Chains A and B, each alone.
Chain A
């Protein structure tokens, strides 16, 4: 794993230093981009999957319904054809003709050859006894009076039986018609037996994909035609049969062994038959599995690709930020240094003036002493001589103080923590500027109590902070103004210093920007716009805070709060 360069940066480097937490930015960017990119993708995939599934399901249901309904029609028309054939016979021949055995035999032969499926034919009188019969069995004279179908036919006029084995031990079914003979004024029943071979062939010929099975059951659920998977002939089918309905219905049910089936039901009107088209739901939904796999593949590949791109882009961007930040920090540091050098330059110029005055005194005093020796001989034990020499020594000491201060200022100190008495420090800074204040008749109003607690800080930086603030104030003030410097111990272990002038003030629009680097209202006269931004940076480095209040025409007040404990060891 290649580690990006920003990874090992410590964001808590230096007190108050506002370095970014790159790792957090990186993590945040990745999380956000991932959420934004992946959620729509996942939602789309889910929707797509659900739409495909429901369309596949409804298509399956529809197809099953169609198959079921077609089969019902075929079965219904098959049975209707044959009952209509019996109608035709009754109308055309009349009962008298039909009772004639030879005639009946020829009719059966022609029925067999034209319609097919007929096994036998017979006539039953209203007493329920078989009065004519042609077929392979000896049924003549049989009494059907007590049987349910006889009663039904007599009352309803037509009858189609279940498939049953009967005496012949072969599955068959019976169709019967009630025929009224006007001549004899008696009702007869014309009854024919159909074999199930044609029936079976009709259902078997259905092309049902994927473990489909089409067969007939009666209303009690007994299987009437051979089923491939759902039970033996004349046994109970293993799916539930819904109540009677005119319409074709399709249901998803669970078989006895837990397999899901899609079952189409259609009651065949006027018969005890129900067409069942049973399909394995799982088989039907097989295309979905392929679609699901494809979808998953596409999804997985996209997610992987998106994540890869997101991580790559986030890393690249954060690295760029890191590099930019580093460059910015370096530039600011360089600027700070440059600014410091400029301050020292200004100071040096001031110091030259400061030193020249004591030097001039030394010069005059030394000259006076030599003059005294030259013009008057009696000064061997003179007190004035002593005083003049003392004056020389004092002036030399004054020069020494000034140069020492300059040196302490110019020294390039990185971080030098020191116990600081603020009054001393403020006096030192003000001493540099006292002369300028005098020349410009600026009143210095120092309000710093002697008993302020000492605190640990970087003397050089603190000096620069105050020098910058006082210099700024001087630039804002006209001659004869008042500069107030005050200090006090504030609550929570901190010291508050204020530098307030009664100069031109800062307009409110500029007030928010004065700490920005390169913001300057004096660009034309050589301002760099770095003074206050550097001062602000220094205060932050020392762990303090800085604020400003200003009113145009009334003056500006800078307030600095420094922790008494000093920043943690950097």
Chain B
């Protein structure tokens, strides 16, 4: 399973990627939408974990762009902002949603569910 982590907090995504690596999940990370799109071109990711709020391009916009180019990709959203309403308004059904801070085990479970 290949996972792409996108979050503007470098410290957060880097640690998260390493921890997923310990658990046998191949995870790449980046801190902005533009490079995420580039990386998705090169590598075929099963799941993308996106932060909702990022500078320049928001998680929802990024998800739309990625989904357009990679129809098979699944998405999990992370947010520090507890507004589920915003998320529901922007995201079609089938998206997962986790509120920071997250338990890695929860993320793993969502990842496994998404891939199945």
With A359-B101, A435-B53: A388-B80 Cβ-Cβ less than 8 Å? no
Range, interface on chain B: 20 to 34
A364 contacts B by Cβ under 8 Å = yes
Chain B nearest CB, measured from A550 CB (Å): 29
Q: Which of chain B's residues has its CB closest to A354's CB?
A: B80
- A residues 413-468 near B (Cβ < 8 Å) are 435, 438-439, 441
Determine which of B9, B58, B99 lies in contact with A439 in the assembled complex, contact meaning CB atoms within 8 Å: B58
**Inter-chain CB contacts under 8 Å: number:** 69
When distances are taken between beta carbons in the complex, the residues of chain B under 8 Å from A356 are 80-81, 99-101
Determine which of B11, B80, B100 lies in contact with A365 in the assembled complex, contact meaning CB atoms within 8 Å: B11
Report the separation of the CA atoms of residues A365 and B14 in the bound assembly, to the nearest whole angstrom. 9
CB–CB A361/B11 < 8 A: yes
When distances are taken between beta carbons in the complex, the residues of chain B under 8 Å from A391 are 11, 15
B56 contacts A by Cβ under 8 Å = yes
Chain A nearest CB, measured from B5 CB (Å): 11
Range, interface on chain A: 20 to 34
* Among A136-144, A176-184, A367-375, A482-490, the stretch in contact with B: A367-375
A353 contacts B by Cβ under 8 Å = yes
With A353-B80, A439-B54: A362-B19 Cβ-Cβ less than 8 Å? no
Report the separation of the CA atoms of residues A435 and B58 in the bound assembly, to the nearest whole angstrom. 12
B82 contacts A by Cβ under 8 Å = yes
- B residues 19-60 near A (Cβ < 8 Å) are 19, 22, 53-56, 58
CB–CB B55/A360 < 8 A: no
When distances are taken between beta carbons in the complex, the residues of chain A under 8 Å from B12 are 357, 360-361, 364
- B residues 77-93 near A (Cβ < 8 Å) are 78-82
Report the separation of the CA atoms of residues A360 and B80 in the bound assembly, to the nearest whole angstrom. 8
CB–CB B82/A363 < 8 A: no
Determine which of A354, A360, A368, A438 lies in contact with B101 in the assembled complex, contact meaning CB atoms within 8 Å: A360
With A438-B55, A441-B55: A361-B80 Cβ-Cβ less than 8 Å? no
B102 contacts A by Cβ under 8 Å = yes
Q: Which of chain B's residues has its CB closest to A387's CB?
A: B11
Chain B nearest CB, measured from A138 CB (Å): 153
B16 contacts A by Cβ under 8 Å = yes
Chain B nearest CB, measured from A177 CB (Å): 140
Chain B nearest CB, measured from A358 CB (Å): 8
Report the separation of the CA atoms of residues A375 and B22 in the bound assembly, to the nearest whole angstrom. 7
B18 contacts A by Cβ under 8 Å = yes
With A353-B80, A356-B80, A359-B100: A367-B19 Cβ-Cβ less than 8 Å? yes
B104 contacts A by Cβ under 8 Å = yes
Chain A nearest CB, measured from B106 CB (Å): 11
Report the separation of the CA atoms of residues A441 and B58 in the bound assembly, to the nearest whole angstrom. 10
Report the separation of the CA atoms of residues A496 and B19 in the bound assembly, to the nearest whole angstrom. 52
CB–CB A371/B55 < 8 A: no
Report the separation of the CA atoms of residues A354 and B79 in the bound assembly, to the nearest whole angstrom. 11
With A353-B80, A354-B80: A364-B54 Cβ-Cβ less than 8 Å? no
Interface residues of B (CB under 8 A from A): 9, 11-12, 15-16, 18-19, 22, 53-56, 58, 78-82, 99-102, 104
Closest 3 CB pairs of A and B: A356-B80, A364-B15, A363-B101
